[in-house]
Structure 1
Amino acid sequence: MGSRGPPQTLPNSAAISRGYNFASTWEQNAPLTEQQQNSIISLSHAVSERPLPLKLAQENASVQDNVLSVTTEDSSFDDSGAIKTVMVNTNQFYKWFLDLESAMKSETEEKYQHYVSTLTERIQTCDDILQQVDDTLDLFNELQLQHQAVATKTKTLHDACDRLVQEKQRLIDFAEALRSKLNYFDELENVATNFYSPNMNVGNENFLPLLKRLDECISYVESNPQYAESSVYLLKFRQLQSRALGMMRSHVLSVLKGASSQVQEAIRGSGGDKTSISEGVEASVIYVRFKAAASELKPLLEEIESRSSRKEYGQILVECHRLYCEQRLSLIRSIVQRRISEFSKKESLPSLTRSGCAYLIQVCQLEHQLFDHFFPASSKDVSSLSPLMDPLSTYLYDTLRPKLVHETNIDFLCELVDILKMEVLGEQHSRKSESLAGLRPTFERILADVHERLTFRARTHIRDEIANYMPTSEDLDYPEKLKRSAESTSEINPVDDNPDTFKTWYPPLEKTLSCLSKLYRCLESEVFTGLAQEAVEVCSTSIQKASKLIGKRSSQMDGQLFLIKHLLNLREQIAPFNIEFSVTQKELDFSHLLDHLRRLLRGQASLFDWSRSTSLARTLSPRVLENQIDTKKELEKSLKVTCEEFIMSVTKLVVDPLLSFVTKVTAVKVSLSMGGHNQKLESVMAKPLKDQAFATPDKVAELVQKVMTAIQEQLPLVIAKMKLYLQNSSTRTILFKPIKTNIIEAHIQVQSLLQSEYTSEEIQIINLKSVQDLQTELDNFL
């Protein structure tokens, strides 16, 4: 506990120790506030000096009265803290000690009781304060509730005011919207009054604004059919619009007719006709007057074009295009027709085509430029000028068509294709001009007619000049024809080993390749492929027929070389065309119908039995047969067969004796090995080969000599004839190589027989040339 000034002198005892320990524990468990500690300090100063308790003082006095010699000095404590008392006996001491202890306890408890009472008072004070705070909070809560109620009423009032303001604004907006919507209906009377006014015309400055307002009213009424009497107002608005569009059409027609009349008057005033004053259709009198009319109509036509997305204005715009084209056509029709007629009288078909197309292109460009002055937004649509350009281009087509039908010259027709594709359509494509696009259908139509005529004439040419060609005696005069050509070429240029072979070609070959070379760039790929297949096929057949005739007339070898020469040329010349010569032909086969009909007549089948394969549908349905024909492969096949025949014929011509000898020996040996029942044959084969009648050394030597003579005499003639027919040395080498191989192979077989069946002396008698010497000799021929 807090200090109380100078302490009293008290005996040291366990009670005091326990008292202090309790106080210390109390201090720790219930610490005092700073204010409480200050109060205790003040109290300790106040009681620092105090007298002994009254009871003790009375006891001391009684002891003295009872002659108890107990002296007591000052009742206060000394510096050492001990109480100085005179005790007479032990009982007095215990009594005094008990009183002192009781007084000390009482004094100690009094301090704490005072402290407890102080705390109790303060707790009561705090309770009073808390009660006051609770009362204050209750008042504050009540005030807050009242404030919230006032705020709620205020907000409600504000919300009601806002709603009233919004409602007022909505009503104002509704009134304005209603007024704006009613304005469209109210405009009917105003627009009708103005349109039916006698002073109203298309040239009036109020016409276009009224027309715009009328369009707005129609659009609004159309988009709001739910309004009362909207259909009635829409009908009346449309009537006014029809009247306005009719006025616009009449005005456009009037201006165009006025321009046409001015042009015609200018032509009549010049003292000449339209042709003389309109040379080239670029005379200013035809175009300048119309450009002035375009300036007059420009505001109106721009309004029409800007509204062309609407159906009514789109229709009136098309009508204006038609009126314009009619007026222009009435002015230049006769000029264009007469100009094309002049071309037709003076020029050939190719020149007429070139001049007529160039003239139409010029007219089209000028007309498109003029049209662009009237209708700038519509000029990109080439179909707008179709009513004008189609009749003009038809004049050229009608002029060219009869001439095309009667044209038989393939060269002229090919020239027409080049003119139309390269000069006319190609020029349009390079210019990328929209003004010329309107003529493209006519030019393509003319080109299609030329293609059709060219195809027909090409088929006729293939049929008459190639398939049905009748060769003359000069055409079949081989090899003399080649010799004459070679002599004439050597006289002109002796160094040249490649004479002009085109003159020595069989005419059908030359006509085939000439025709294909002309058609290759003129016809479509599919059409040309079909013609090329047909031409190559009939040309190959014609060459083969001529080869047989030459074989009968000159020699078989001449016929073979003639065929090889021309087939090689045909194969070489068609390679650059780069086309597919394979075609699939489909045919209907009815050959099975006869068998079905026989079964029906015999009662073995019924027409109405749909479940069987002999039903009516199956019986009468033809079979589709597909046949794959490759003209180029057939040509290769014919060439291969002819070359093989030539190789075998030359081989037989040179080494036929040796081949016959080897064949006989092989046949005898085979017959002997297959059976020994023929005693005569066994007796013959029992003798050595050299003792046989056909195989004696002299006979074999004679055969060898014949072969050597043929090699030295006949083979050079064959080589010379090959050079005459085949100018290409590599071709001759390829063709001679298997011939040389066959000759050497025959010698090798005979040499093998000689070595196995004959002696060295007999081999010398036979005198067969060695293979190496023979190969060297054959190599020298080429």
Structure 2
Amino acid sequence: MIRQETESDIKESKVQENLAKWQSTTDPLAPLSEEQMDLVYEMGDLVSSMYTNPEENTEHATEVETLEKPEYPPVIHKMQDYIQWMIAAEKDIKQENLKQYQIYSEQLKKHQCNSQQLFDHTNSALEYLIQLKNQYENVTEKTNHLHLLSELLMANQRTLKEKKQSLNSKLKHFTNFTKCQESIERMGNRLNNEECIKVLDEIDESISYLNDHLHYKESRIYKMKYESLLNNILNKIYDYVNTILVETMKQVVDPDSKTHILPQTPSVTESLVDSAFSLYYGKFQSVSIKIRFILNSLEEREDHNEQYKNILSDCQKTYLTQRLPIMSIAVSKALAELKEKHRVDHSKLFRSCSLFTMKICQDEAMCYNYFFTKPSTQLNDYLGTLCQHLYDTLRPNLIMINHIEVLSELCGILKSELLHEKVLDNDQLLKFIQVIQQLLQDVEERLVFRSNVFFQHDLLGYKPSPGDLAYPEKLEQMENIALELRDRRSDSRNSVVSLESQEVAHINAAQMAHFRSYTGNSPADLHGMWYPTVKRTLVCLSRLYFCLDRNTFQGLAQEALVHCISTVKTAADLIASRKTPVDGQLFQIKHLLIIREQIAPFQVDFTAKETSLDFSTVQKAALELYSHRSNIFTFNSNNALLEFLLEGTPKVKEYLVDSRKEIDKQLKHSCEEFISHATRILVGNILQWIEKAEHILRIIRAESSPSQELTVSSQNFGRPRTVASIIQEAQKNMKSRIPEIQRSMQLYLSNRETEFILFRPIKNNAINAFLQLDQILLTGGYSSEDQLLIACPSPEQVNILICSVSLVGGQDGQKAVV
């Protein structure tokens, strides 16, 4: 016991020690934050306040008086007291929680009582409803029976009405005949109204119905009656329309009237034009109101019956027949006045006559639309008759036109001004378009014919004048003029000149630049300095390109270029005979370059297909016939005459001729001739000596045992002094003639690239000539002393010589450095 007390004391002291260390400042067992400490203190104050006597606490005295008396917890000294207090607290809590459920239970009991009462009332209401339902079913059954009887009666009544209506609708087509006949007689000439349209509708309906029900009694008879009645009213309509049109035309064609003038006639004044327009079209427009309504109704019924189509066609024919005489006379008269007014200017004549006719077609179509809404073939034929006057007026003038410029201008007018998109899309101008297209074909045909005549007379038959062949004088003169203009412009920069002189200088420079081609800056590039046949050919092709179709233009262009090249070749030969071959060759090269450059923009193929007869088989067959002449009259398979007829027929060959390639071929040939001629001018004697020396060397090689005496050096032409003189003469020619050749190339071509291309093979040929000469000297039996005497220059030395004597492009381009 003492031991237990001792252990308990130890534990208590240990607990007290731990409690002392619980919140120690140095090493606490369970450190608390300031916030936690504040909560602990608050709990301590709360507990102390619960066990404090309210009478001693003066601060809360007022609060206790206002509230109910609180139940303070009992003072607990033992564990058992605490447990008892806990059990009592739990009971109080349980009672407190069950209080709301007890209240709810009492409410449920009240609701149950009310529900029972409601259920009793509902049962009594259901009994009343069952009784009411039985009574309703009885009444409904009786009502349905009565309703069925009523519906049956109404259905019988409806059936009877339908049968009555069906009989009336069928009998209507038989009984309405008299009514329609009386209506037609009553209308008389008042046909342009709704009553007439209504009668036509009834007649059409009756005819259509009777036609579908021919099995009815007397349906065929009444159908014939209705058709006769329709024919009668349509004839009345036609007579009515015809009478109005004839009276209107009599008002227009009044012999006492002085205003018989066609509208839009160029020779009348504006007032007369207005009066003529109102006369020819205004009267018809005003009178169209009287018959337009009935005519439109006929057009709507055109597809219903053939009679409508015939009567409408007759009305259209009457209208066009009435207008054709006066319009035909007036149009021909107006075209004659235009022809007389523009008898000199064909372009204005074609343009004014065509525009006038087009306006007439539009006005006539507009006047036709006053009466009719649908187009017809008769209207097209009528407009075609009016447009034929245009063709008859212009065709004689077209045959008399010989100038290609005028014909090409007419092609442009007809294509661009009269056949543009708006005209082609206009259905009213179909006949006008056909006439214009026919005129265009005639103009193109005339243009092709005159082009062929132009090629024969103005190209092949051209005889050049001395001024046309004055080369290079013309070029030198133009170059001097250009130099003077340039000097004047340079002087004007250094001195004060007037504004007018500057403008003149600018205009001259612009004109010079405008007429230059793209091949160079030579005076020959000026359009006015071209050879006439070249200028004529290119101008002609430029006009034909926009007028003719591709195939026709290709054929004419091929023929024109062939003739043009031929005339250039002829002129080059004449210039070569007059001056020097170099001038003729450069003239030909320059103009071939111009032709090739100017035809490049044409987007066509200059290839033409030509045919020819091959008579080579005829000659062969004739020889066979002659060699087998003994078998001419034999009757077997070896008959010589029969073989001649079968094998001796000439063959037709087709081949393509390309003008572009022909120009390139001719240009290449001319350049080769120029290069060859220039080479002969520079080293001609050396080339002749090389030919002789090579001939001797071939003889030496051909001999089986060559003789040592037969060498090039042993020949008279091969002596060292002779060879040396030839070389010296060639060097002298290169020094004197190379600047002349280059000067001519600059004058004709004036294009560094072209000059370089032409001069490079000349230079190479000269170098190769000296190279061949040097090789022959090595194998021709010449000693070293002979070679020193001959002093043949090396290729490098020849190149240096040629470069040293070539023209240097200075300011004037005419100085040479030797």
Q: Compared with structure 1, are the counterparts of its residues 338 and 720 closer, same or farther at alpha carbon in structure 2 (3 Å cutoff)?
A: same
Distance in 1 separating the partners of 2:395 and 2:696: 79
TM-score, normalised by the number of residues in structure 1: 0.68
Deviations 1:328-352 (A, max 9, x none): 3344444333322221112122111
| CA shift for structure 1 position 536 | 0.9
Distance in structure 1 (CA, Å) of the matches to 2:618 and 2:764: 55
> CA offset at residue 580 of structure 1?
1.3
Higher mean alpha-carbon deviation, 505-514 vs 665-674, is at: 665-674
Q: What is the CA distance between 1:663 and its match in structure 2?
A: 3.5
CA separation in 2, counterparts of 1:219 and 1:582? 68
Report the counterpart of residue 55 of structure 2 in structure 1: none
Q: Which has the larger Rg?
A: 1
Query: Could you say what secondary structure the match of 1:575 adopts?
Result: coil
1:464 and 2:488 matched: no
SS in 1 for 2:600: helix
Contact between 1:382 and 1:438, CA under 8 Å: does it hold in 2?
Answer: no
Shift of 1:525: 1.8
- Report the CA distance between 1:362 and its aligned residue: 2.5
1:698 pairs with 721, 732, 748, which one?
A: 721
Structure 2 residue aligned with 1:62: none
In 2, Cα distance between the equivalents of 1:213 and 1:478?
96
Alignment of 1:501-512 (within 5 A): 501-512=526-537
1:439 is aligned to 2:426: no
Aligned-residue offset at 1:684: 2.3
Q: 1:217 aligned to 2:217? A: no
Q: Conserved in 1, the CA contact under 8 Å of 2:189 and 2:240?
A: no
* Correspondent of 1:723 among 746, 765, 772: 746
Give CA-to-partner distance per residue, 1:41-69, whole Å, 9 cap, x none: xxxxxxxxxxxxxxxxxxxxxxxxxxxxx
Partner of 1:549: 574
Of residues 244-253 and 708-717 in structure 1, the stretch that sits farther from structure 2 once superposed is 244-253
Q: Give distance in 2, aligned partners of 1:696 and 1:240.
A: 129
Say if 1:281 and 1:335, in contact at 8 Å, map to a contact too. Answer: no
Match of 2:446 among 453, 457, 460: 453
- Looking at structure 1, the residues matched to 645 and 709 of structure 2 have their Cα atoms a distance apart, in angstroms, of 74
Report the CA distance shift for 1:357/1:657 in structure 2 as closer, same or farther (over 3 A). same
2:432 is equivalent to residue 409 of structure 1: no
SS of match in other structure, 1:425: coil
Distance across 1 between alignment mates of 2:166 and 2:786: 136
User: Are the aligned partners of 1:340 and 1:396 in contact in 2 as well (CA < 8 Å)?
Assistant: yes
Shift of the alpha carbon at 1:488? 4.2
The partner residue of 1:632 within 652, 656, 660 is 660
| Structure 2 residue identity aligned to 1:633 | K
Q: Does the CA-based 8 Å contact 1:585-1:628 persist in structure 2?
A: yes
**Cα distance in structure 2, aligned partners of 1:331 and 1:695:** 102
Structure-1 residue corresponding to 2:384: 390
> What's the CA shift for 1:280?
6.8
Structure 2 residue matching 1:684: 3-state secondary structure: coil
Q: Is the 8 A contact 1:253 1:323 kept in 2?
A: yes
- Note the C-alpha offset of 1:618: 7.0
Any conservation in 2 of the 1:383–1:438 contact (CA below 8 Å)? Answer: no
Query: Does 2:542 match 1:536?
Result: no
Instruction: Work out whether 1:374 is the aligned partner of 2:397.
Output: no
Match of residue 36 from structure 1: none
**Secondary structure in structure 2 of the residue aligned to 1:676:** coil
Partner of 2:802: 778
* Residue in 2 that maps onto 1:255: 244
Q: Report the more deviating stretch, 539-548 or 690-699.
A: 690-699
* SS at 1:202 equivalent: coil
Is 1:241 matched up with 2:230?
A: yes
Matched residue of 2:656: which SS?
strand
**Is there any run of 5+ residues in structure 2 with no aligned partner, and where?**
1-150, 263-267, 490-511, 513-520, 809-818
Q: Where do residues 74-473 of structure 1 align in structure 2 (5 Å cutoff)?
A: 180-181=169-170, 183-192=172-181, 194-195=183-184, 199=188, 202-203=191-192, 205-223=194-212, 233-264=222-253, 268=256, 271-274=258-261, 278-279=272-273, 283-310=277-304, 311-347=306-342, 348-375=345-372, 377-378=373-374, 381=375, 383=377, 385-426=379-420, 428-429=422-423, 432-473=425-466
- Quote the offset at 1:232 in angstroms: 5.2
**How many angstroms does 1:712 deviate by?**
0.7
Question: Equivalents in 2 of 1:185, 1:724: separation in Å?
Answer: 107
Asked whether the 8 Å contact 2:522–2:749 carries over to 1, the reply is no
1:186, distance to aligned residue in structure 2 (A):
5.0
CA deviations on 1:272-326 (whole Å, 9 max, x unpaired) are 4435675278633433322221222221121112123344333333333332223
The question of whether the paired residues in 1 share the 8 Å contact of 2:380 and 2:430 is answered with no
**SS across alignment from 1:370:** helix
2-side partners of 1:722 and 1:361: how far apart?
59
| Structure 1 contact 505–566 (Cα < 8 Å) conserved | yes
Aligned equivalents of 2:287, 2:596: Cα separation in 1: 68
Letter in 2 for 1:257: V
Q: Distance in 1 between matches of 2:784 and 2:179?
A: 138
| Pair 410,194 (structure 1): closer, same or farther in 2 beyond 3 Å | same
Deviations 1:599-623 (A, max 9, x none): 999245699x9xx996999799975
585-594 vs 365-374, greater mean Cα deviation: 585-594
8 A contact 2:259–2:276 mirrored in 1: no
- CA-CA distance at 1:502 after TM superposition: 3.2
Distance across 2 between alignment mates of 1:618 and 1:218: 77
Q: Which residue of 2 aligns with 1:482?
A: 475
Going from structure 1 to structure 2, the CA distance change for 1:709 and 1:628 (only over 3 Å counts) comes to same
- One-letter amino acid matched to 1:274: I
> What is the CA-CA distance between 1:421 and the residue it aligns to?
1.5
Equivalent of residue 698 in structure 2, options 646, 666, 670: 670
Report the counterpart of residue 762 of structure 2 in structure 1.
739
Change (3 A) 1:306 1:651: same
For 2:677, what is the secondary structure of its paired residue?
A: helix
Q: Distance in 2 between the 1:487 and 1:326 partners? A: 76
Correspondence for 2:583: 558
Q: Is the 8 A contact 2:350 2:410 kept in 1?
A: yes
Look up the match of 2:684.
Answer: 656
Q: Which moved more, 1:337-346 or 1:311-320?
A: 311-320
Q: 1:309 to 1:474 in 2, by over 3 A?
A: same
Q: Deviations over 1:467-523 (max 9, x none)?
A: 222333443343334334444444445698532533333322222112111211122
Aligned mate of 1:572, from 570, 581, 597: 597
Alignment deviations for residues 732-755 of structure 1 (CA, whole Å, 9 cap, x no partner): 222112111111222333345557
What is the rounded CA distance, in whole Å, between the counterparts of 1:177 and 1:258 in structure 2? 49
Unaligned runs of 5+ in 1: 1-161
Q: Distance in 2 between matches of 1:529 and 1:441?
A: 26
- State, as a whole percentage, how many aligned pairs show the same letter: 30
Q: Distance in 2 between matches of 1:466 and 1:676?
A: 61
Deviation at 1:221, TM superposition (A): 4.2
Task: Label 1:755 to 1:291 Cα distance change in 2 as closer, same or farther (>3 A).
Answer: same
Distance 1:226 1:655 in 2: 118
Task: Check 1:282–1:550 CA distance in 2 against 1; reply closer, same or farther (3 A cut).
Answer: same
Q: Give 1:552 deviation, angstroms.
A: 3.2
Q: Structure 1 residues 199 and 646, CA, compared in 2 at 3 Å: closer, same or farther?
A: closer
- CA distance 1:229–1:705, shift in 2 (3 Å): farther
Could you tell me whether the CA contact under 8 Å between 1:655 and 1:743 is conserved in 2? yes
